[in-house]
Structure 1
Amino acid sequence: MRQLLAVRGMPQYYLAATLARVGDEMVAFTLVLLVLDRTDSPALAGLTGAAYALPAMITGPILGAWLDRTPYRRTALGINQAVLGAVMLAMLAVVGHSSHWMTPALAAIAGVTLPMVTGGFTSMLPSLVPQPLLVRANSLEAASFGAATVTGPAAAATIAAAVSVEAAAVVIVVTATCSIFAIMRLPVLPAGAAATGESFLTSVAGGLKHLARTPRLRASTVATTGVMVAMGILLITLPLHMAQLGAPRSAAGYLWTALQIGSVTTAVLLGRFQSRWRPERVVIVCIAACGLAIASWSLAESLAVLLVIVAATGLLEGPMLPAMFTARQQYSPTGLQGRVGTTAASLRVGAAALGQVAGGLLVPAVGTHTALLLVAATVLAASCFGWLAGLGSLKEETRVAQSLG
């Protein structure tokens, strides 16, 4: 760990990335609570969450192509945080006090640059870290994501319960502002190694083509994207399920925290052992194990019991995230790192958005117990589809090996 943090720019990188991710993790939960509290509409809450995430499906590949060509990465990351802070302030004035369409419209504005947080930071690692340290860097990167997903929902839940959901929105603005100052301290990196003479539109499509044509990377991407559909449904389900356990809606934030505490624990402790197995296999096995564990969530009759079960599920999930990062790096040439990272992230974010829309319509109709079982089934299906997606031809494997040199 000391060796990794001694690399120039790495302490600043992890500080900036984690601050940005904490704010991002607070947004999804805070938006749901804000809309539910002011409008009592699960459908509008799901639509608002989807509007925050869906633009990333379009902007992710575009931003990734730009990242592979430009040295101005810090500027893009800072703009993302500035836009997020401005939109959250506008949300406080708009939600419940104006036409419903304005709420998802504002969320969509903040979502345009969202891939910069979910994929833009991670794509910088191969340029910052020597190859022998990448496995450890990925484990610490997963810990950064985990720390954010632990802190974000818990902070939002605690502030919403102790003060108000509006106060939680203000904290997001403060976090975004602090992250901008941290981003300014990142080292300036050279432009990526995008192909000389390649048109920008061709470059934009490069990441998606590589994801689609590389069997092992495709397996990891399909599986982790499918999981995000389930997570989107879960984001709507858990606050509504709290009534069944005699707890306030905001208590759902502690469940997300418990999940990520378990996940961070195994991501850090087992990170050094992951190089023994192919990363896409780690991803698929972890997702299948999580699906089986989530199937038991609906059996919990108290919040305390559910917290324990959710934390145990997180332990099973932990190795998945660093393995996903390793798959992107191991099966992608350097010149595609930005595009692969942001494109894969945009697919995951878009899938979560679709899940939130589905959850907003589905949960009131079938109830939260059935919705939890559907989430488990969706996670298991994601693992199966990921395995099937990895069944590529020998010709594809040979082509990828040649492209990686």
Structure 2
Amino acid sequence: MSSYYLSATLARFADEMVAFTLVLLVLERTDSPALAGITGAAYALPAVVTGPLLGAWLDRTPYRRAALALNQAVLALVMLTLLAVVGHSAHWVTPALAAVAGATLPMVSGGFTSMLPTLVSADRLARANSFEAASFGAATIAGPATAATLASVVSVEAAALVIVVAAALSIVAITRLPALPPALTHHEPFMASVVGGLAHLIRTPRLRASTVTTTLLLGAFGVLLIALPLHMAAVDMPRSTAGYLWTALEIGSVVTALLLGRLQTRWRPEYVVIVAAAASGLVMASWPLATSFVVLLLLAVVTGLVEGPMLPAMFAARQQYSPEARQGRVSTTAASLRVGASALGQVTAGLLVPIIGTHNALLAVAGTVVVAAGLGRLAAVDRRPVVAVSRG
């Protein structure tokens, strides 16, 4: 399992750097929040289409390692190309290149996570989910912090080069993963397989609840990717220091993910997701009141602490409410929805934050997260008609 967590964490570290580094690179070279938002969205939006397709393919292929490695190779190549063209070419070139890198983005989250039920036994799955959440958290802690530090101390170009190095190291670690047999052994038509993953997400109330909540939450966090760098002026800090807020958020999240990750074994995982989301939204409502960067940093840690149990519970919901033959499709489809929502959030932020201001944007994010929890609770209701059984 050490090779799994190393390769997955390196890939996620690179991905977490990309989201923040792209914003900084575009803002620095063009000073255009709109282009920064569009570029971030272009990196994420292709996953809405490719996620279900990749998931269906992953469930039936023995070549998962090659697919994961190819994703990292494409990312490294695109980042090198972006360094050459951002600010020195037509504006459309930058989001177009970002879209190429983002096409296989669901591999980083769903592609890796879908392997867990095959790699570990059922009695160790809850603990593996906690470590998986820690992998995401460690990447999200280190990624933005590394990007912020390099952008401040060296240059944003240096941050982009570190992404290339991390992607290359991830490829090396991926080669040490075991080859896994296809999860889907019968010959279901490919498109029926694609639709089947999405249909399962929609028709399974408990899984639907978790998916709705986390998808809308990622949409709100997409707004933060653009709003936080712009908000740093309100606390007398440079834009790059926004990366430390993401780090603070994830430090809190990792702590409770590891300490309370077994909550899904005591309560239904979708309820853990909903409660954690509602609590984090309420704490985030205090962010606009912070008058200094230190206070904002502390509030980010507290937000992460209450949000922490969400990620392992989300993994548990997918695993408990989906058959093994659909793990790849469910994981990548859900990941694509989350990434797509984040993309829409970035586009919205790029257009609206300069108009409404960063304080109102932060309040809107907090409100959206609370609403996400409420809609998730509504989605948990099973509206299928109850069929009466005759007892003769």
Q: Distance in 1 between matches of 2:127 and 2:385?
A: 32
The answer to whether residue 48 in structure 2 is matched with residue 57 in structure 1 is yes
The answer to whether residue 229 in structure 2 is matched with residue 207 in structure 1 is no
The answer to whether residue 98 in structure 2 is matched with residue 114 in structure 1 is no
In the other structure, the counterpart of 2:307 is: 317
What pairs with 1:366-377 in structure 2 (closer than 5 Å)? 366-377=356-367
Distance 1:353 1:396, change over 3 A: farther
CA contact under 8 A between 1:215 and 1:396: conserved in structure 2?
no
Compute the displacement of 1:397 (Å): 12
Counterpart amino acid of residue 181 in structure 2: P
Compute the TM-score of the two structures, normalised by the length of structure 2. Answer: 0.98
Q: Pick one of 383, 387, 391 that aligns with 2:377.
A: 387
Counterpart amino acid of residue 220 in structure 1: S
Q: In the comparison of the two structures, how many residue pairs are matched? A: 388
Q: Distance in 2 between matches of 1:275 and 1:142?
A: 15
What pairs with 1:45-84 in structure 2 (closer than 5 Å)? 45-84=36-75
In the other structure, the counterpart of 1:346 is: 336
CA contact under 8 A between 1:22 and 1:149: conserved in structure 2?
yes
Q: Distance in 2 between matches of 1:212 and 1:353?
A: 21
In the other structure, the counterpart of 1:178 is: 169
Identical residues among aligned pairs (%): 70
Q: Distance in 2 between matches of 1:397 and 1:344?
A: 30
Q: Distance in 1 between matches of 2:208 and 2:151?
A: 39
In the other structure, the counterpart of 1:89 is: 80
Query: Deviations along 1:212-266, whole A, 9 cap, x unmatched?
Result: 0000000000000000110000100000000010000000000000000000000
Q: Pick one of 189, 214, 224 that aligns with 2:214.
A: 224
CA contact under 8 A between 1:215 and 1:397: conserved in structure 2?
no
Q: Pick one of 124, 129, 142 that aligns with 2:120.
A: 129
Query: Deviations along 1:270-313, whole A, 9 cap, x unmatched?
Result: 11343100000000000000110010000000000100011000
Query: Deviations along 1:325-371, whole A, 9 cap, x unmatched?
Result: 00000000010000000000000000000000000011000000000
SS in 2 for 1:99: coil
In the other structure, the counterpart of 2:244 is: 254
In the other structure, the counterpart of 1:190 is: 181
CA contact under 8 A between 2:58 and 2:182: conserved in structure 1?
yes
In the other structure, the counterpart of 2:283 is: 293
The answer to whether residue 156 in structure 2 is matched with residue 151 in structure 1 is no
Counterpart amino acid of residue 203 in structure 2: R
Q: Pick one of 17, 20, 35 that aligns with 1:44.
A: 35
CA contact under 8 A between 1:220 and 1:284: conserved in structure 2?
yes
Counterpart amino acid of residue 347 in structure 2: V
Gaps of 5+ in 2: none
What pairs with 1:254-273 in structure 2 (closer than 5 Å)? 254-273=244-263
Q: Distance in 1 between matches of 2:276 and 2:202?
A: 22
Compute the displacement of 1:118 (Å): 1.5
* Root mean square deviation, CA, Å: 1.2
Distance 1:228 1:278, change over 3 A: same
SS in 2 for 1:301: coil
CA contact under 8 A between 2:263 and 2:272: conserved in structure 1?
no
Q: Pick one of 324, 349, 352 that aligns with 1:334.
A: 324
Q: Pick one of 351, 365, 386 that aligns with 1:361.
A: 351
CA contact under 8 A between 2:231 and 2:358: conserved in structure 1?
yes
Query: Deviations along 1:130-155, whole A, 9 cap, x unmatched?
Result: 00000000000000000000000000
Runs of 4+ with >3 A deviation: 393-398
Q: Pick one of 140, 144, 150 that aligns with 2:131.
A: 140
Q: Distance in 2 between matches of 1:374 and 1:156?
A: 26
SS in 1 for 2:114: helix
Q: Distance in 1 between matches of 2:214 and 2:172?
A: 32
Q: Distance in 1 between matches of 2:150 and 2:162?
A: 9
Counterpart amino acid of residue 393 in structure 1: R
The answer to whether residue 234 in structure 2 is matched with residue 244 in structure 1 is yes
Q: Pick one of 217, 222, 225 that aligns with 1:235.
A: 225
Counterpart amino acid of residue 371 in structure 2: A
Distance 1:14 1:223, change over 3 A: same
CA contact under 8 A between 1:139 and 1:271: conserved in structure 2?
yes
Q: Which moved more, 1:33-42 or 1:386-395?
A: 386-395
Compute the TM-score of the two structures, normalised by the length of structure 1. Answer: 0.95
Counterpart amino acid of residue 174 in structure 2: I
In the other structure, the counterpart of 2:94 is: 103
Q: Distance in 2 between matches of 1:152 and 1:366?
A: 29
